[in-house]
Amino acid sequence: MRAVAIVPAFDEEGRVGATVDALRSLDGVEAVVVVDAGSGDATGAEASAAGATVLVSPGRIGKGEALEAGVSRAGSADLYVLADADLGASAARMGPLLDEVRSGRADMAVAVFPAPPSGGFGLVKRMARSLIQRLTGLSPDEPLSGQRVVSGRCLRARRPLARGFGVEVGLTADAARLGFTIREVPVSLEHRFTRKDVPGFVHRGRQGLDAVRAAAPRLLSLR
């Protein structure tokens, strides 16, 4: 089964190269496509040096838009590995997600991270979980996890992807509503956790707003 990894990246110099190396080491992953979403550093050059196909946006774009561009560039695949650029070497541990979908046990496998040593207050995560529950009846442990493996059939059924940071809420809600099987899998991945500081609060605010924007038209369709 042909698997392609799609990595949205913004200012991830110093980590994206290790992420690309790790994803390329996964069994069955034939290519890694990194979408540089308007970085101001050497993210694109580092990803290219590590062996990724790199798309560079001429301006800043959101996460959902970057993933959509990456999927379009990758073309048809049996499996799509969606991974954040800051995973570093830990991305090599995404094999269990591939196994879940490759075996047919799931159409979408979502990584559940170990509990963070510190982070935000969990408000955005709880809100995203509540939105998905209202839409589908599911209550996922990790409604905002960007680390996923999705079958080609499942992903193609839900394009275009939701915009910005609403992409995960949109993917989970749409896949469940169409009857695809979703499984959450504990995986020892590592990334930078959002801090309790001004940039961290701004980031979480954007996540929350985009999640609502993704959910709103889907909630209206239930009426």
Q: Is the pLDDT of residue 84 over 60?
A: yes
**Model's pTM, two decimal places?**
0.92
In tens, the pLDDT along 23-53 reads: 999 999 999 999 999 999 999 999 999 999 9
Q: Is the dihedral of CA 89, 116, 35, 200 positive or negative?
A: negative
Q: Is the pLDDT of residue 208 over 80?
A: yes
Q: Is the pLDDT of residue 206 over 90?
A: no
In tens, the pLDDT along 129-184 reads: 999 999 999 999 999 999 999 999 999 998 999 999 999 999 999 999 999 999 99
Beta-carbon contacts of residue 154 (< 8 Å; ≥ 6 apart): 107, 108, 175, 178, 180
Note the pLDDT of residue 221.
79
Q: Let me know: does 173 contact 129? Beta carbons within 8 Å.
A: no
Give the closest residue to 207 by CA, choosing from 98, 135, 128, 97: 128
For residue 68 the two structure tokens come to 């959509």
Residue type, 1: M
The answer as to whether 202 is a domain residue is: no
Beta-carbon contacts of residue 37 (< 8 Å; ≥ 6 apart): 8, 9, 10, 57, 60, 61, 62, 63, 65, 66
The answer as to whether 136 is a domain residue is: no
Express as a percent the part of the chain with pLDDT over 70. 92
The answer as to whether 217 is a domain residue is: no
For residue 218 the two structure tokens come to 């889907």
Taking the CA of residue 140 as centre, how many other CA atoms within 13 Å lie in the half-sphere pointing to its CB?
31
Q: Is the pLDDT of residue 109 over 60?
A: yes
The answer as to whether 130 is a domain residue is: no
CATH number of the domain enclosing 84: 3.90.550.10
Note the pLDDT of residue 204.
74
DSSP characters over 89-103: GGGGGGHHHHHHHHT
Domain count of the fold of the chain: 1
| CA dihedral of residues 210, 136, 127, 187 (deg, nearest 10) | -90
Note the pLDDT of residue 219.
84
The answer as to whether 201 is a domain residue is: no
Q: Is the pLDDT of residue 119 over 70?
A: no
Residue type, 116: P
For 46, the domain range is 3-116+142-162+171-193
The answer as to whether 127 is a domain residue is: no
The answer as to whether 64 is a domain residue is: yes
The pLDDT-based confidence of 193 (bands split at 50, 70, 90) is low
The answer as to whether 184 is a domain residue is: yes
Beta-carbon contacts of residue 212 (< 8 Å; ≥ 6 apart): 127, 131, 166
Work out the burial of residue 157: count CB atoms within 10 Å of its CB; fewer than 13 is exposed, 13-18 middle, 19 or more buried: middle
Work out the burial of residue 103: count CB atoms within 10 Å of its CB; fewer than 13 is exposed, 13-18 middle, 19 or more buried: exposed
